[in-house]
Amino acid sequence: MTEYYLYLDESTTHNPGFLNPVFCLAGIVVKKDDYHLVQQGLDKIKQQIWYDLSNPLDLVLHEKEVREAQNRMVDRSKIKSHYLRFRSNSYSRMLYSELDTLLKNIPCNVLGAVIRMDDLDQHFKKDIQSDYYLSAMQIVMENFCQFLINAGGIGHILIESRSHQDKQVRLRYNHIKAMGSMFVNPFAMQTLLKDIDFPSKTENIAGLQIADFVPNPFARNALGNKQPQFNIYQALRPLRYDGGLGKFGVLA
């Protein structure tokens, strides 16, 4: 069967004062046979951005560090030297323009889930709530299964390692596989979904670096906040997988 990889990342955003928090778990689905296009595309971007360095392909793209470099309120001394160039609008524009082009040129889909924490608290008291990460993961895994059924494939999930939470994420993943979801039974989920892996940032996984730029635009949109000057939101929206169901279960 055809193998697909779902590269996931997460983002929590909020208004000033930590008001109206929104959590998003989202990423890109890529066919194993197409992954070389992701790698080649990201390598090209790195070579363009860090053309003057001897090791551009060894550097890891991380949106949080790009945004910190763009933020004039952050002291230069706290920014990694190779990220300082993103203080320049020309380099920031280049990065997001090239990411936009890459997403339009590679065969991929976007899967994810957004949870507005205030809405959750309004409808369900804290003492009866399920873990919000578990809820988001269930939606993502369910939709990934639906994608795999339509594609005639099997899937693997990769999430960048955060050593302190890898065990908990794996427990949630195994719990959902064992119990199934609202629309996908356990047997189907266990047949379609194989493993979940947690590569470290130092492994320089191209799919995870692209996925790192995916959740925040959707979280910001759910919060009703304007996108930053440089962003890939409009490139991501047409890639959302809806299973032919229109707006049902689709990231906004």
CATH of residue 73: 3.30.420
- For residue 7, which of 205, 224, 226, 152 has the smallest C-alpha distance? 205
Distance between CA atoms of 32 and 36, rounded to whole angstroms?
Answer: 8
The edge-to-edge listing of strands for the beta sheet with 193-197 is 108-116, 19-31, 2-15, 153-159, 193-197
Q: Is residue 245 a part of any domain in this protein?
A: no
Q: What percent of the chain has pLDDT over 90?
A: 82
Q: Is residue 8 a part of any domain in this protein?
A: yes
**Residue 67 has what pLDDT?**
96
Lowest mean pLDDT among 58-67, 115-124, 221-230: 115-124
Kindly report the average pLDDT of the chain as a whole number: 92
Residue 248 has pLDDT above 60, yes or no: no
Q: What is the pLDDT confidence band of residue 166, given thresholds at 50, 70 and 90? A: very high
Q: Is residue 251 a part of any domain in this protein?
A: no
Residue range 55-74: mean pLDDT, rounded: 96
Residue 249 has pLDDT above 60, yes or no: no
pTM assigned to the model? 0.93
pLDDT of 168-212, one tens digit each? 999 999 999 999 998 999 999 999 999 999 999 999 999 999 999
**Residue 17 has what pLDDT?**
65
Distance between CA atoms of 169 and 176, rounded to whole angstroms?
Answer: 11
Q: Is residue 250 a part of any domain in this protein?
A: no
Cα 25 from chain centre: 6
Count structural domains, the chain: 1
Q: What percent of the chain has pLDDT over 70?
A: 91
Q: What is the pLDDT confidence band of residue 19, given thresholds at 50, 70 and 90? A: low
Instruction: Tell me which DSSP letter residue 227 carries.
Output: P
Q: Is residue 86 a part of any domain in this protein?
A: yes
* Four-CA torsion 43, 90, 215, 201, nearest 10 degrees: 40
**Residue 184 has what pLDDT?**
94
**Residue 130 has what pLDDT?**
73
DSSP codes, 153-177: EEEEEEE---TTTHHHHHHHHHHHH
- For residue 157, which of 185, 190, 194 has the smallest C-alpha distance? 194
Which contiguous run of DSSP H or E holds residue 92? helix 89-105
55-83 burial string, b = 16+ CB within 10 Å, else e? Answer: ebeebbbbbebbbbbbeeeeeeeebeebb
pLDDT of 79-92, one tens digit each? 999 999 999 999 99
Domain span at residue 231 reads 2-239
State how beta strands 193-197 and 153-159 pair: parallel
Token pair for 34 = 């197409």
Instruction: Tell me which DSSP letter residue 229 carries.
Output: S
Residue 125 has pLDDT above 80, yes or no: no
Q: Is residue 223 a part of any domain in this protein?
A: yes
Q: Is residue 77 a part of any domain in this protein?
A: yes
Q: Is residue 94 a part of any domain in this protein?
A: yes
Residue range 47-65: mean pLDDT, rounded: 97
